[in-house]
Every structure is written in structure tokens, then in C-alpha cells.
Amino acid sequence: MKTKNHIERKISLAGGTLVLGTLLLTAGCSSMGPDTKVGAVTGGAIGAALGGIIGHQSGRALEGAAIGAGVGAVGGGVVGSAQDQRKSAPRR
């Protein structure tokens, strides 16, 4: 089995950190609005699919999917949160 070089270790560490951060951020989902939840789940699923496809090209499909899921969940949650805030803002 090949040993990981320095760059691969950094990528693995970054991916693990991103996934852990995403898990910590989504731990408070009970206080999130409905669009935030839907956005995070949808973004995570789309990100995982795209990350898996991109990661497969370099032989790292699982890591790509994990990183893509994290980035997608955070991005989708941000977009959903903006929609929740817009819906709850008082109308003029």
C-alpha cells in the first residue's frame, strides 16, 4: 500500500476538519428555519454527488464526497437561512 505524501495528508486533514465542522454546525438544527434545513440537506446531497464524481477522477471518491457534502451543506444552509430571514422580515 502506498504511503500518503505531505499534500495528501493535508487534503485528508482538511476534509476531515470540514466534515467535523459541518457536523458541529448542523448539531443545532432544531433552532434552524425550515428553508435552512432543506437547503443544508439538499446542498449536502448535491455536494456529495459532485465531490464524489470529481474525487473519482483522482482516485479519491470517498474523500471528494465527504468534502463536497460539507461544502454543499454549509452553502445550502446559508442560502436557506437567507430565505428564512427574508420570509420572516416585516413587510413594508
What is the structure's pLDDT at 20? Answer: 66
What is the structure's pLDDT at 80? Answer: 92
* Letter string b/e over residues 12-45, b meaning 16 or more CB atoms within 10 A of that residue's CB: eeebeebbeebeeebeeeeebeebbbbbbbbbbe
Q: Mapped to the 3 state alphabet, what secondary structure does 41-56 carry?
A: HHHHHHHHHHHHHHHH
Which candidate, 83, 89, 92, 86, places its Cα nearest to that of 39?
83
What is the structure's pLDDT at 75? Answer: 92
What is the structure's pLDDT at 1? Answer: 46
pLDDT tens for each residue of 18-64: 666 666 665 655 567 888 889 988 998 999 899 989 988 988 888 88
What is the structure's pLDDT at 79? Answer: 93
| For residue 84, pLDDT beyond 60 | yes
